[in-house]
Every structure is written in C-alpha cells, then in structure tokens.
Chains A and B, each alone.
Chain A
Amino acid sequence: SQKIEQNSEALNIQEGKTATLTCNYTNYSPAYLQWYRQDPGRGPVFLLLIRENEKEKRKERLKVTFDTTLKQSLFHITASQPADSATYLCALDRTGGSYIPTFGRGTSLIVHP
C-alpha cells in the first residue's frame, strides 16, 4: 500500500541552526512533491513544489531536495528562527501525474531562542 512517512517526533533545534525534515514514501511514483507549513489550529500553507526531474529547489532560507531513487525528500530551513516553529507536511500526487495530493502527517519543528 502507499505510504508517506514523516517523523512523528518533534524536531527541536536552536535558533540559527539548520533544520532538516524528512519525507519518505513507498509505492508512489510522484510527478511532484510539495511542502506545506501548518500552524496550530490553521490550514496548511504552500511553501515549495519540486518536480520529479528536479534535484533541488530553493526559496529564500528554504531548500528542498527530491531523490526518486531513495524515494525521499529533504526539507531544509537555514538560519532557523523561533517564528519557523510549526508543523511541516509533505504531499505527493496520488499517482504519477494525478492532480490529487496526498498528505503526510507532518513533523513538528520547534526552534528555541
């Protein structure tokens, strides 16, 4: 069966450090992968999308990598700030080329001042 795995344990880091979150998947052949940020009691907010033929995508302090061989995406936040504390969800299209994204449960990031 299809699975999207994100670490259920919160990631605690110090301000200024780089946070790295992992999204692993099985039995998917996604055409693209997305990362969203979700604050408590709010809806997710889109951050970045990376396509299957792209290895890396950057946006300001954010960087996403996508390894279709390892079936893994890494999400990095450099120079992290307490305001980056949130849950980060990855999402994959249901099957290659499907427009329906399926979400992971997310990983909570806590940045300590």
Chain B
Amino acid sequence: AQRVTQPEKLLSVFKGAPVELKCNYSYSGSPELFWYVQYSRQRLQLLLRHISRESIKGFTADLNKGETSFHLKKPFAQEEDSAMYYCALMGSSNTGKLIFGQGTTLQVKP
C-alpha cells in the first residue's frame, strides 16, 4: 500500500536559517515523489517533482530510496516561504493514484 508520512505538523524557523521538511514514504515499487505548496489565500500548487531534479525558489529535494525519504530543503529560509507543504506520491503501477501526506506548516519568523 502507498503511504506518505510527514512527521512534523509545524516547523518554525528564523529568516536565514536552513529548512528541512521531512517526508517518508512506504511503497514497494519505484514511486514518483512530489512537493506541493499552499501559500496563504492561494491554491495548492506543485513546487517540485523528483524526476525533474530541479531547484525551485531555492528548494531542493532528493529521493533516497534506501531510507524511503524525500525531504525538502532550503539553505536560507525567507519569510515568503511561510506556507503549508505537502509531500505526495504516485506509484509506479501507473494507476495514476496520487496520495498526499498530512502536511507541514512552515513558519518563517523575521
């Protein structure tokens, strides 16, 4: 069964500090992993996907198959990064099923 776990409901850091939002998954095959973000008063939107191996708004995420993790990182947090972040998984069985974790609220303090 597919499962995504985000262990932290709230992560609070000061501006300029490093950020790491944790995501662990459970899946027997090779999944696709994503991070979605919801800024205040905006729609939930895609931030990045592991297959693109890109950096968006300074955020990166590396898929670690050994640890079944896909943590989201940024070296220096900005106040505008404050938002709700969701990790998501789509299994390799090609069902198209996309499931999300519980979400982590990132609060960047000035």
- Asked if A and B are interacting partners, one says no
Chain A residues within 8 Å of B, Cβ to Cβ: none
